[in-house]
Every structure is written in C-alpha cells, then in structure tokens.
Chain A
Amino acid sequence: MNFLVTLINGLSLGGVYALIALGYTMVYGIAKMLNFAHGDIIMVGGYTVLVALGTSGKPIFTVIACVAAIVVCCILGVTIEKVAYKPLRGASPLAVLITAIGVSYFLEGLAQIFFGTNAKFVKIAEMGILHIGGLSIGWDTVITLLVSAAIMAALTLFVKMTKTGRAMVAVSEDKAAASLMGVNVNAIITVTFAIGSILAAVASIFYLMRYPTLNNTMGAMPGIKAFTAAVIGGIGSIPGAMIGGIVLGIIECVFNSTPLAPYTVAIEFAILIVLLLVRPNGILGKKRREKV
C-alpha cells in the first residue's frame, strides 16, 4: 500500500520533471542548442505566481496566477530566443552555450534586484487529501499527475497530427530540406521556445505546490534534474524526455522513502552516469547526422 502511494507520488513528480525536460529536449532537437536558462524560466514563473496571487486567498486569484505565469514565461522564452540566441544562429555551439549561461545569470540577477535573496513562501492553493481504496494521496499530487499526463498526450498528438508538428520534426532532422518544403525555420524555432516555456510555467506551478519556497535560484535544481531526465531519455527525443522524467521522479520518490533518502540526488546522478556508459545516446536517443 505504502509502495503504491510512493509510486503515484513518483509519477506525479516525474510528470513535473518531464514537462521541464520536454523544453530542453525540443529546443535541443530543433535549435540544436542547450538552453541553459530554461530552469530560470521556472523561477520567473514562480515569481509571477507570487505577484499575481498577491495577499488574497481567493481561488480565482489562483487561476489568474497560473494564467499569468504561462503568459509571462511564454513571452519571456520567445524574447530570449529573439534577443540572445537568434543573432548567434550558425555560431559555434560553445558561443551559444556561454550566451545561455549568461542569460541564466541575468535572470537570476534580475530576480534578486526585484525580490531580494530571502526565500519567499508561496501557497498556491489549499488542497485536501484524496482517500481512495484505503490510500491517502494529496490532491495536489493527483492533479499534477493528471494534468501533466494530459499535456504530454496533447503534445504527442500535436507533433504527430498537425502541420506545424510535422514541420517541427522536419526542422529537427534537416533545416535546409525543411526550408525547401516551405517551412519557415525561424518561425518553427519560435514556436518551439513558446511551447517549452509554457510547459516550464506549468511545471513551476506544480513544483511550487510540492516545494513552496521560492528564491532566485529555485529553478536550478528542477532544471538540472529535468535536463538529466532529458539526457536519460535521449536528448532530442520527445517520448524520451517523458520517459526520462518519469523514471527520475519515481527513483527520487522511492529512494526518499528509504533510509537512503539523504543520498537521493547522488543516486540519481549515479544512475545517469551508469546509463550513459551503457547507452551513450540515452534510452530512446539516436545518433544524429548533421547536414548543411
């Protein structure tokens, strides 16, 4: 029974990691860059929630705060791409990576100027406990699990079924060939950043429901773990990011429920290292060919 609760908890946390990991993996697949600042989008989402909630405890403000976080993160992600990354299209990957690290520090610095360094407590919503078949699970856990599953299903359908989704796959494979088909590669990159940032905003809401303290580096830990999840799943692969996130969430919750809890993070990264030794391209990763 207890194990079942741990498992559901792990799936729920895994859903959060998966949402973040999708942002890393989609941007990597399409723009061929590691968006080091992705974790900080989560942080900005957190502060947006904080501001939008204000001091009111009314449920309607929770909804407003969630919508505000999504809108702000989406605009921020697209703007970062336009201002910082687009001018570097075709530059060396190292230059792009350094720029992304710079954007990350910039956002953290900005948050520090506005909100200081003291951690803030964010209570997004008062949720009860679900009692079902002898199990007791927090509603926040259940909602996180359901919503992230629904988002992942929707994203999968979007990529498989829509014209834009097909264009995204085409761009990730071969930009020049995609442009010969009439695909506007820059527009597809913009869409990718928008989707990744929206997913990060949703993740920030769920992450804060679980760990309700907010400071200007709060994005670092979920960011690095989700990045790990994306690499475990095979960076560039959408289903890979989902699997990687869920695997990581389950591992984390399982170890946290044992006496090994203090070593959970170390164990997670150890698993990453071992997996990469066995499967250098991750679970679903493929070797990529690069062409002009």
Chain B
Amino acid sequence: MALLEVNDLQVNYGLIRAVKGVSFKVEQGEIVALIGANGAGKTTIMHAINGIIPKAGGNVVFDGNDITATPAHKLVGMGLAQVPEGRRIFGELSVFDNLKLGYYCKNDAKHFNEKLEEMYTHFPILKERSRQIAGTLSGGEQQMLAMSRALMSDPKLLLLDEPSMGLSPLYVSNVFEIIKQVNKLGTTVLLVEQNAKMALSIANHAYVLEIGNISASGTGAELLGNESIQKAYLGG
C-alpha cells in the first residue's frame, strides 16, 4: 500500500473550486514531484492534505489511516510534516526555539539532541545563529530553518512546498542534495517546485497539475523528456 494516497480530492475557496478531483499516490521511499504553473492548486493540495484548509470532497489515506478529517495538529505526530510555502517560520522566536517547536509532538531529550545535531550538520549556519531571532535571518537562512524545523520530527513523509524559493543557485543545489540525502535515510518526500527541472531530475514519480486537475504523470525522467512539458514548464 502506498504511504500517501489522495483520492478525488476537491477543495473550494468560497464558490470557486480550486482543486477539482485530484488523485495521486506516493509510494514508501519515493520522491514524488508535483509541478504546475502559478495558481494551478499545488499549495492548496498540500494544505488540504495537512488539514489546514477543509476538503470539499475526496479522501486522503496516510500510512494506512484515513486522515481526511484528522485535525492538522495530530498529523505531525503520525509522521507527516510540511515545509509550508513562504517558510512560515516563527519570526519572534530564536532559531533554536523554532527547532524545538519542530519537535513539539515528541518528548525525548536525547533524540532531540541527535536531531538537532543532524540539522546543524545539514545547515551549519543555523548552529552559528541558534540564538538569533529567526525573523532577522536572511530569506535563504529562513528557508533552511523551515526545512530543518520540519525534519526535526523525523517524519515518514515530508511535504515540501517550494523549498528552493529565495535561495541562491548554490543553495538550491545544496537543498536538493539534502532532499536526496533525507530520502536515502528513509523519509518519503512529496515535493512541489517551480524549479521543475531540478524537481523532475530527483523525482521517482511526478504529476503535472493544470488548473486543479492532473494533466500528466510519469517517472521524473519521462516527464523531463516529454516535449510539451519541456515547453510548458522547463523553459524550452
């Protein structure tokens, strides 16, 4: 059974249907990419999976449990973490306190320290800045913090909504390296990205979203080689 199964998901904003019956699967151990133009509904799908916005129809099964109606705050404890679009770090708290909040669902001082060290190894700058108020970090540093914060809970499935946003090219490849590494260590990844080329190059599977519907799917390599997809999303 797939780790995440989204069946006929529908989401409305008022009278507007933003997601019109989307189905896809994320198998255990995979990296799955969701690509699409601005406004296609990618963030809406991520938030609906996580229960931050209500679903108008369909269901979501995670790790064998129907989580369609599960409140958002219970999911991270079940192993589903998200790096939301726009980072959404807690700007008034220190870097360290943000990481502590990433571990909020758990209670194990020793394991916490291990995870903390792991994050500091991924992103040494966060260790340097651990006492700094997070709101004063640079945009790229905030993105690293958002990613570390989500990884602190040791999730089975990590939802990433544009993790490369606002990062310089060097850090973009750094972040993608870390995604691959995290995945190798056993975390399944669902990735939304504007940087479709990068996303497809690391994805086992990918889905193309077009105004609320899935218009194409395949392995990352297949979609990378697909001519119409190259035209629409890969800049050539």
Residues of A whose CB lies within 8 Å of any CB of B are 163, 166-167, 169-170, 173-174, 176-185, 291-292
Residues of B whose CB lies within 8 Å of any CB of A are 47, 50-53, 71-77, 81-82, 84, 88-93, 97, 100-102, 104-105, 149-150, 153
Contact of A180 among B53, B82, B93, B100 (CB under 8 A): B82
CB-CB nearest in chain A for B52: A176
Once bound together, how far apart are the Cα atoms of A167 and B71, in whole Å?
17
Once bound together, how far apart are the Cα atoms of A274 and B67, in whole Å?
53
Find out whether the CB atom of A182 lies under 8 angstroms from the CB atom of B53.
no
Contact of B93 among A170, A185, A292 (CB under 8 A): A170
CB-CB nearest in chain A for B152: A181
A-B contact count (CB 8 A): 71
Once bound together, how far apart are the Cα atoms of A291 and B89, in whole Å?
12
Find out whether the CB atom of B53 lies under 8 angstroms from the CB atom of A163.
no
Contact of A182 among B47, B77, B84, B92 (CB under 8 A): B77
Once bound together, how far apart are the Cα atoms of A178 and B71, in whole Å?
12
Once bound together, how far apart are the Cα atoms of A292 and B43, in whole Å?
12
Find out whether the CB atom of B73 lies under 8 angstroms from the CB atom of A173.
no
Find out whether the CB atom of B73 lies under 8 angstroms from the CB atom of A182.
yes
Find out whether the CB atom of A181 lies under 8 angstroms from the CB atom of B101.
yes
Find out whether the CB atom of A169 lies under 8 angstroms from the CB atom of B93.
yes
Contacts of B75 in A (CB 8 A): 182
Q: Can you list 16 A-B pairs, Cβ within 8 angstroms, ordered by A?
A: A166-B97, A167-B101, A169-B90, A169-B97, A173-B92, A177-B84, A177-B89, A177-B90, A179-B72, A179-B73, A181-B105, A182-B74, A182-B75, A182-B76, A182-B105, A291-B88
Contacts of A181 in B (CB 8 A): 73, 76, 101-102, 104-105, 149
Known A-B contacts A167-B101, A169-B93; the reply to A184 vs B84 at CB < 8 A is no
